[in-house]
Amino acid sequence: MDLKEIKEIRRDNLNELIQNHGSTAEINEKLGRKRNHPSLTQIRNRSPRGNGTFYEMGDKLARLLEDKLELPRGWMDAEHTGIVIPSGDDEFDDEISVKIPEYGGGAGMSKQHHSMEEVLVGDIRLSRLFLRTLGYQNPQGLTTTTAYGDSMAPTIYPGAKVLVDSNVREFVGNGIYLLYVAGNEFIKRISMNMKGKLLVSTDNPNEQLSELLDGSEEIEIRGRVV
């Protein structure tokens, strides 16, 4: 399955916001714009710009929507498949969905990111059926955090909510892990080479991080990314 481009994800999320808020006019009002401001409709409809391109949502508008609509930073950039979102005052059915704790410490996907203390900021609801498709009958130990930086793109985009199995505290096979290094958390890929040595790397070809672990580094595995 092809990964969606960020412009497509933002457009899908805009459609969801329009559905939740009733109209583009209502959202424009919350943004402090005139109700008939055309940009959201142009983005939603992929209206042509006249130069062979189409209207798309940039970073500035994405962050403005998050701020004005009180959404988590990076919400517009992340797919929300499997997340249960209530409408109005609907109550969650514990037989259908389950609470997964969300930590606000964040996980940097590049060497340069803000250092944030890990704190519990709330939770998100995931459907039990969705978790079972991932192989989790029991959600105990699953947590979520927000990814920062782009070193793991296109596998994980900045702003994405990342589901982590915190029960995993050691290398259990090639995959993506949540690492704690020198007071910061990082999301990196760990693999084993033909000599049995562990290698930490990134997925973004522009980053080109590849570091062999020889046992001298103080690296703590805090979980495996689901």
β-bridge partners, 179? 186, 221
Summarize pLDDT for 146-161 with one digit per residue, the tens. 887 788 888 888 878 8
Q: Is the pLDDT of residue 1 over 90?
A: no
Q: Is the pLDDT of residue 4 over 80?
A: no
Q: Is the pLDDT of residue 30 over 80?
A: yes
The amino acid that residue 128 corresponds to is: R
Three-state helix/strand/coil letters over 35-88: CCCCHHHHHHCCCECCCCCECCCCHHHHHHHHHHCCCCCCHHHCCCCCECCCCC
Q: Quote the pLDDT of residue 175.
A: 92
Angle between helices 6-21 and 59-68 (to 10 degrees): 30
Q: State the number of CA atoms in the 13 A half-sphere of 168 facing the CB.
A: 19
Between vectors from CA 19 to CA 44 and to CA 121, what angle results, nearest 5°? 105
| Inter-CA distances, 157 with 85, 110, 149, 172, 174, Å | 21, 12, 8, 24, 20
- Stretch 73-97: mean pLDDT: 63
Confidence label for 111 from pLDDT (cuts 50, 70 and 90): very low
Two tokens, residue 11: 């457009």
Confidence label for 116 from pLDDT (cuts 50, 70 and 90): very low
- Answer yes or no: are the C-beta atoms of 205 and 152 closer than 8 Å: no
Task: Find the length of the chain.
Answer: 226
pTM over 0.85: no
Q: Quote the pLDDT of residue 45.
A: 92
